[in-house]
Amino acid sequence: MSVDTPILSIDCKKKERLGNLYRDGKCYSTAPIPVFDHDYYYLSQGKVIPHGIYDLQLNEGYISIGSSSETAEFIADNLLWWWDNYGIHNYPDVNAILILCDAGGGNDHRHHIFKKQILNLARKIGIDIIICHYPPYSSKWNPIEHRLFCHVSKAMQGVVFSDYKIVKELISKTKTDTGLKVHVRLNLKEYKTGLKTDKKEVDYHRIQFNKIIPHLSYRMVA
């Protein structure tokens, strides 16, 4: 890949629950903090869905904190946010974007809706997008897991998620000795689940499938 080609590793971190609930880890406090010892859904005040984008070349992370659901539209919106605010400035001569992701979840390689959303994104930004899914049970090899999420977990440990502002501030403080920077935003848009996308709705003429592993690797033409 050219240096003008962003290499992005994306994934959704473990989902958390908002509210006065116990969380593993230790943090400094001037007094004991009473919390519920179970994180039952009815005790929570909402969901925390951290979706991450990690730029392998710049060692920068971009996390959108959602409150609804991890859907293909949610992922596409977060990628558009990255592009409009960072990507277009960091890669002015870009010719394509390479995205590494798992094979399940909102970016499931079997779902037509994911391909439809990424095709729409490619057309919107006018740049080809290359998708490479990791095979099932291979997500540990996705760079975002050990280059971004593990450090985010350390920054968040032990702190009660009383509101979204606290979560955003904690993640924003993530840093490493190697210079990792993390940019965070709140994406509290409501995303519908269970939407059906027929194969006919996907413009497969704009998808170039890899000859060896077509189900896991393909290029979305803008």
* Token pair for 95: 């010719």
Min mean pLDDT across 127-131, 155-159, 166-170 is at 155-159
83 in any annotated domain = yes
Ordered DSSP codes for 168-219: HHHHHT---TT--EEEEEEE------S----GGGS-GGGEEE-SS-TTTEEE
Owning domain of residue 12 = 7-220
Asked whether residue 72 is domain-assigned, the answer is yes
What is the three-class DSSP state of 41? helix
In a domain, 167, yes or no: yes
Q: What are the tens digits of pLDDT across the range 81-116?
A: 999 999 999 999 999 999 999 999 999 999 999 999
CATH of the domain at 80: 3.30.420.10
Residue 1 lies in a domain: no
Q: Is residue 88 part of a domain?
A: yes
pTM: 0.93
Q: Is residue 50, in this structure, part of any structural domain at all?
A: yes
* Residue 2 belongs to a domain: no
Long-range contact pairs involving 205-209 (C-beta distance under 8 Å, separation at least 24): 206/119, 206/122, 207/115, 207/119
Q: How much is the pLDDT for 5?
A: 87
Gap between the Cα atoms of 152 and 138, Å rounded? 21
The residue among 216 and 39 whose pLDDT is bigger is: 216
Q: What would the pLDDT profile of 35-77 be if each residue is shown by its tens digit?
A: 777 777 777 788 999 999 999 999 999 999 999 999 999 999 9
Number of folded domains in the chain?
1
- Of residues 99 and 136, more confidence is placed in 99
What pLDDT does 27 receive? 67
Structure-block tokens of residue 129: 């997008």
Looking at 13-22, 58-67, 124-133, which range is the least confident one?
A: 13-22
pLDDT reported for residue 29: 65
Q: Is residue 177 part of a domain?
A: yes
- Greater confidence, 19 or 124? 124
Spatial distance between the Cα atoms of 184 and 173, rounded to a whole number of angstroms = 10
* Closest to 76 in 3D by CA, of 110, 124, 143: 124
